[in-house]
Chains A and B, each alone.
Chain A
C-alpha cells in the first residue's frame, strides 16, 4: 500500500560535502493521518519539512507526494498545491495588506477563475473561524489569528496535506491552543496533517510520531509507545509530557494509574476511575 507521502532514503546537506541535515530518512504518511515529527532544535525536522513539497531537493533518495516526485519540475506546482505548508513566523508568510487578499494569493497564483474566488475564500476563512476578519489588515491581528489566516490561505487551494513547520512555536499558549484545535478539526474533515514540533504536549495529541535527532528518524510509533520509554527520550534530550511524568511518579508510589496517560484529559479520566474504585 502506498501512502500520500513517501520518503525513501533521503539525504540533504545545506552545503556540498557539508554535514547532512537530513540523513537517510525514510517514512510513509497515509492519507488522513495526523503525524508528528518531533525533535529538538537542529535535529533536521524543518529541513525535512521543506523537502516534502519541493522547496528543497534531496541530494539523494526520493520524495513522492501522491505518487509525484518532487524532483520532477513539471509536477512541482501540483505538489505544492497538494501539500500546503504553514511556517513558523506568522508575520513572514502573509503577503497582502488585507486578509481577504492574502487568502486569494494562492488562488491567483494557481490561476483559479475570478468568479470562483470569493466563495473559496469565504469557506476557507470560515473553516478556521476567521470570516469576520475578512477586511482587516493582517498586522492588526493576534499571532494565533495570523496563523489561522495563513492556514486559510492554504485551505483555499484545497490541499490534501498540510505541513505545519513549527507553526505554534512563536505563539502564546492561547494562540497555540487556538491553532492546534483548528488543525485537529481539519484532520477530522479528512486533511492529512504533518505536524512538526518540539512541544511534547502537541506531539502527544497526534496519532503517529517520528522522533528525529541528528538528521535521522530515531524512533517511530504511537504516542503511548514513544513516551513509554522515558529513558530513550531523555537520551535524546527530549522530555516526556508533564502528565506522563506525573503518571509515572504515581505508579512509583504504588498508585495503579494506567501507563497510557499523556494528556490532562487522560489523567482526569484515570483519577475519576480510581476515585470510583475506592
Chain B
C-alpha cells in the first residue's frame, strides 16, 4: 500500500509550460488569482477561461487529469452555487418557490463564485502538475530570498522542504516495516472502531518518531561532514535563468490583466 507513492502531483511531459522558470510560474499564478478575483463581469470570465485553456493546451497535460483535479471540489462547488443562488438577495425576481426566491443577481453571483473556484483550482493544479516539488522549492527560495534582509530564513526553509521531500518515502517505508512487525506480534490496525484504531497507531508512531529523530541527528552530522554551513557562500548546481518563453508568459498574463480591467469598465454584465 505504501510502495507506489508519488510525491506531489507532478506529471512529466515535454512542454513549454513545464520548462518555464518556477519563479515565473509562481508569480504568474499569484497574478492569475488576482485577475480571477478582480473580474467583475461574466464576459471577463470568458477572457480568463480562454487564457487558462491556452495554458492547459500548451502544458500538454491530459484533460482527464485536469478534470480530476476539480473532482474533490464538487461538493464545495454545489454548496457555493446553491448558497449564492438563494442568499444573495437582489430585486429582479426570476422564480418564486414560496420558501425561497430566485433572483437574477443571485443566479449571476452563483455562476461567478463557482467559476472563480474552478479557475482557482485549475490554475494552481497547472502549477503543481507541471513543476517538480524540488524545483518549486527552489523557485520559492529564490523568490523569498530578498526577505533575507529582514532575517527571513528563505534558504533554511527551502532546505527543510527538500529534506522533507527526500525523507517522505524513507519514513513511509519504515512505517510499513514497523506495521508489519507489530502485526506479526498480534497488533491489529485494520478492524475495530475509530477510537480503537487510533489507539492501535500508538505502537506504530512511537518507534517511527524515535527513528526519525535518530535519522535527523545522523543526517545533520553527514551534512556537516560535507561542509554544509548554511546558505552563505553556497553555489548552485541549477541556476535559474529567464528565457524568452518566460518573458512571453509574463507578457501574456499582463495583457490578460489589462484586458480584464478594461473590460470591466466597458461592459457591465
The stretch of A101-109, A185-193, A213-221, A249-257 that contacts the partner chain: A101-109
Question: Contact check: which of A50, A77, A96 meets B227 at CB < 8 Å?
Answer: A77
Question: Contact check: which of B219, B233, B235, B237 meets A101 at CB < 8 Å?
Answer: B237
Interface size class of B (residues with CB under 8 A): 20 to 34
A17 on the B face (CB < 8 A): no
B229 x A93 contact (CB < 8 A) = no
What's the least CB distance linking B94 to chain A, in Å?
A: 54
The stretch of B63-71, B161-169, B199-207 that contacts the partner chain: B161-169
Complex Cα distance A24/B194, Å? 58
B221 x A153 contact (CB < 8 A) = no
Given contacts A87-B218, A104-B237, A117-B237, contact A95 B162 (CB under 8 A): yes
B221 x A97 contact (CB < 8 A) = no
A198 on the B face (CB < 8 A): no
Given contacts A77-B227, A80-B225, contact A95 B235 (CB under 8 A): no
Complex Cα distance A219/B234, Å? 43
Shortest Cβ distance from A91 into B: residue: B170
Complex Cα distance A112/B224, Å? 17
SS of A interface (majority): helix
A55 x B235 contact (CB < 8 A) = no
B219 x A53 contact (CB < 8 A) = no
A111 on the B face (CB < 8 A): yes
* Residues of chain B with a CB closer than 8 A to A154's CB: 226
What's the least CB distance linking A179 to chain B, in Å?
A: 16
- How many A residues have CB within 8 A of the partner chain? 40
* Residues of chain A with a CB closer than 8 A to B229's CB: 77, 109
Complex Cα distance A147/B258, Å? 55
Complex Cα distance A107/B226, Å? 9
* Residues of chain B with a CB closer than 8 A to A95's CB: 162-163, 166, 219, 222-223
Shortest Cβ distance from A109 into B: residue: B227
* Residues of chain A with a CB closer than 8 A to B239's CB: 114
Chain B interface (Cβ within 8 Å of chain A)? 7, 133-134, 162-163, 165-166, 169-170, 173, 215, 218-219, 221-229, 233-237, 239
Chain A interface (Cβ within 8 Å of chain B)? 50, 53, 55, 77, 80-81, 84-85, 87, 89, 91-98, 100-101, 104-114, 117-118, 121, 137-139, 153-154, 157
